[in-house]
């Protein structure tokens, strides 16, 4: 177990261990199995919508043919009131979790991690920024089944 002040030997990773982005040209183009996600209708529940975003800005795409619904979000929009939500017991709880993980006691570490956010009354949640409905000027009349396809 490491103590404060101990030295840590760090090896520089070898070229073979480094991650590099994979380009679509690296794959065999098998057109018999196109990459696509298919939906049989618009989302009925929030958990059925498609999340998109970059971590700061986001949206849930609900789908639709004549009307597309986008529910927008931004990372500074939260429920609750302004305040200091810093838990004074968090550093001690984090130290306990780290010791348990270092000791290989993962189940106990998971239980101890609950102490890191032990005050549910102070929990804030993302609030929806707005909902946009995009109206399509083109509606196909002879569609018997609705399919929305996102091709990659």
Beta strands in the chain (DSSP E): 36-39, 50-53, 57-63, 67-74, 130-135, 148-151
Question: Structural domain tally of the chain?
Answer: 2
Model pTM?
0.46
119 with 131, same domain: the answer is no
Q: Which domain holds residue 115?
A: 85-123
Using a CB cutoff of 8 Å and minimum separation of 24, what contacts does 43-46 make?
46/71
Supply the pLDDT for residue 100.
93
Tell me how far apart the alpha carbons of residues 152 and 139 are, in angstroms, rounded to a whole number.
24
User: Which one, of 82, 84, 78, lies nearest residue 119 by Cα?
Assistant: 84
89 with 57, same domain: the answer is no
104: left (phi over 0), alpha (psi -120 to 50) or beta: left
Is residue 47 one of the residues assigned to a domain? Answer: yes
Taking only the tens place, the pLDDT of each residue in 67-125 is 888 888 888 777 777 777 677 888 898 999 999 999 999 999 988 888 887 565 556 67
76 with 130, same domain: the answer is yes
Tell me how far apart the alpha carbons of residues 49 and 57 are, in angstroms, rounded to a whole number.
16
52 with 72, same domain: the answer is yes
């Amino acid at each position: 177990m490491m103590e404060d002040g101990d030295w840590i030997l760090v090896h520089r990773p070898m070229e073979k261990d480094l991650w590099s982005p994979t380009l679509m040209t690296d794959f065999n183009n098998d057109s018999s199995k196109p990459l696509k996600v298919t939906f049989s209708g618009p989302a009925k529940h929030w958990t059925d919508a498609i999340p998109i975003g970059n971590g700061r800005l986001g949206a849930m795409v609900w789908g639709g043919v004549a009307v597309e619904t986008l529910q927008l979000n931004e990372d500074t929009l939260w429920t609750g009131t302004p305040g200091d939500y810093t838990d004074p017991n968090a550093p001690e709880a984090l130290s306990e979790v780290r010791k348990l993980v270092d000791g290989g006691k993962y189940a106990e570490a998971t239980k101890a991690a609950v102490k890191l956010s032990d005050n549910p009354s102070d929990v804030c949640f993302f609030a929806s920024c707005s909902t946009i409905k995009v109206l399509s000027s083109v509606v196909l009349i002879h569609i018997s089944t609705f399919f929305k396809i996102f091709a990659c």
